[in-house]
Amino acid sequence: MRIIDRKWTDLFLGYQAVQTFQSRLESEFGRAVEIGHKQKYRRELTDWQKKRRIFFALVALAPLSVIALCMTAYYFREVACILAWWLVTVVLIFVTLIVAGWNFIRQVVSGRPVPQRARVAASLTDRWWDGLLPNTLTVETRGDRGEVDFLTLLDRALPDDWLAVRDLLTSAPVLSDTDVLLLGPSGLWIFEVKHWSGVIIKQDGIWKQAHRKREETILDQAPDEQWVRQRDEIMKTIQKRLPHLAWTSDLLQGGVAFSHPKVKPDKTRILGNAAAYGPASAWVERIRQSPPDERFTLEVRLEILDALITWASRNERQGAEYASSKDEAERLYGQVAGQLREYVAKMVK
């Protein structure tokens, strides 16, 4: 799963730009990288052949020294003990050198360089996605902890074709945000996340934490009603700003996710809920098993995110900073192109 910082705009244009720049890198530097790889291979092959000749020359000379010592010991018997000691010493030195330099010997004997497939290894797309990540998933309140825990579960379970944004402003009446917005092959999932523990009930429109021997604790304002408001506002934004994608309203799903590991929603005592609810782990499993819709492509998901982030940027009360992912793609292209020029220059030296 890819978590996207809510400050990024022009996601659709940025994705198209980064793919175009990737193709441009291949066409501009593909031939140069190929030539550089060939020259690098020739240098490595020449160096290996030179080392191999020197190694075999030394291997041929080593037994001669031992033979010379043996012959000397035969003809000069009066100093045979000293010569035998030297012989043993030389053999031990040879054995030590062989053991210590075994990896070098193996490389010289059978480590012939292999020509590599020439290609532009730099992936602009991966770098672009990595640049869209939030710097940190900040945790300042109990609610923040629930959102981060839920995102962590989703991140572990879902592949990279899923996109997630946290705390995106989506509701106009009271300027409230959606805790977790998730877009994937099966549609757009909206979640109101609550980090509540214990037995959870809903009576007379009020959510409570039930206790055995004392009065129930009244919890936050109704999260199911908050979810309905967020869903309606998101649907309205899509229909107004992306009328050609109005059909995606049928793919709006989600509900209330209880992220605390010790939460126990009591279904028999939750009455009149306006949205689906359940533990975070159950939601993750439901998302994983949801059937994909071929129409809801990555490009469509990015268009919807663009519309929602643009709406948020125009309605944000505080001065939030926004940045263009298209400009980020252009910056990355310039950076990687410069790195490739240096890389090719080093290979052809």
113: pLDDT strictly greater than 90:
no
- The C-alpha atoms of residue 194 and residue 219 are separated, in whole angstroms, by 10
- The C-alpha atoms of residue 177 and residue 134 are separated, in whole angstroms, by 17
61: pLDDT strictly greater than 90:
no
Q: Which residue has the higher pLDDT, 313 or 36?
A: 313
Q: What is the mean pLDDT of residues 103-124?
A: 63
Model pTM above 0.75? no
48: pLDDT strictly greater than 50:
yes
Q: Which residue has the higher pLDDT, 70 or 212?
A: 212
Residue with tokens 């799963």: 1
pLDDT of res. 172: 77
- Domain range summary for the chain, segments of one domain joined by +: 2-25+121-339, 30-110
pLDDT of res. 118: 47
pLDDT of res. 78: 58
In order, the DSSP letters of 27-95 are HHHHHHHHHHHHHHHHHHHHHHHHHHHHHHHHHHHHHHHHHHHHHHHHH-GGGHHHHHHHHHHHHHHHH
Q: What is the mean pLDDT of residues 236-263?
A: 94
In one-letter notation, the amino acid at residue 280 is A
In one-letter notation, the amino acid at residue 161 is D
Q: What is the mean pLDDT of residues 90-108?
A: 63
Q: What is the DSSP letter of 9?
A: E
pLDDT of res. 39: 62
237: pLDDT strictly greater than 90:
yes
Report the range of poorest mean pLDDT among 93-97, 159-163, 236-240, 253-257: 93-97
Q: What is the mean pLDDT of residues 191-219?
A: 85
Q: Which residue has the higher pLDDT, 86 or 190?
A: 190
pLDDT of res. 66: 61
Report the range of poorest mean pLDDT among 5-19, 46-60, 201-215, 316-330: 46-60
DSSP alpha helices (H): ranges in the chain? 11-75, 80-100, 102-110, 124-131, 142-157, 223-241, 280-289, 298-315, 325-347
- The C-alpha atoms of residue 62 and residue 59 are separated, in whole angstroms, by 5
